[in-house]
Amino acid sequence: MKVQTYLNFPGNCEEALSFYEKHLGAKVLAKMTFASMSPTGNPQNLPPGLDPNGIMHARFTLGDTELMASDGPKVEPMRSAYISLGVDSNEEAERIYNALTEGGEVFMPMGEQFFAHRFGQFRDRFGINWMVIHEKPMH
């Protein structure tokens, strides 16, 4: 069995993927638009509010993890699931936190915890929840 994360965006998937490439080193492996579903480039029966040029499906890597993504109608942020990024230094934790919290919503500010040199929880400006952690050794 293979478990993968599928991210849904409210029309800004292309922008989010570019942002994650720039700030997280993500690599887009495949990307297709709703328009590509039709030989005429004008797909029929799209749900209301979907842009034909929006992302129908994308696959990308983040570190050694493969994720999938798309644009969808009526996408609402979810608070019960997070993508957790484990990093090797306080500097990397701070850099990622600062980049991804800009325009987002902080749930737990970046700081030291009993289990981590640095830990923070937030939702980025694209509606995706993240945890960034530079763990302390557990004995």
pLDDT value at residue 30? 97
CA gap 123, 16 in Å, rounded: 13
Phi, then psi, of 13 in degrees rounded to 5: -60, -45
pLDDT score, position 39 = 64
Q: Is there a common fold for 5-71 and 83-135?
A: yes
Report how far residue 129's alpha carbon sits from residue 51's, in angstroms, rounded to the nearest whole number. 24
Task: Say which CATH architecture domain 83-135 belongs to.
Answer: 2-Layer Sandwich (3.30)
What is the domain partition of the chain in residue ranges?
5-71, 83-135
Residues 71/113, Cβ–Cβ less than 8 Å: no
Tell me, which fold does domain 5-71 have in CATH? 3.30.720
- Which residues, 6+ apart, have CB-to-CB distance to 3 below 8 Å? none
Q: What's the pLDDT score for residue 51?
A: 82
pLDDT string in tens for the chain (139-residue length): 988 999 999 889 999 999 999 999 999 999 999 888 766 656 676 767 778 889 999 999 999 999 999 998 777 777 789 999 999 999 999 999 999 999 999 999 999 999 999 999 999 999 999 999 999 988 7
pLDDT of residue 132: 98
Instruction: Supply the pLDDT for residue 73.
Output: 74
Question: Distance between CA atoms of 113 and 126, rounded to whole angstroms?
Answer: 27
Single-letter code of the amino acid located at 110: M
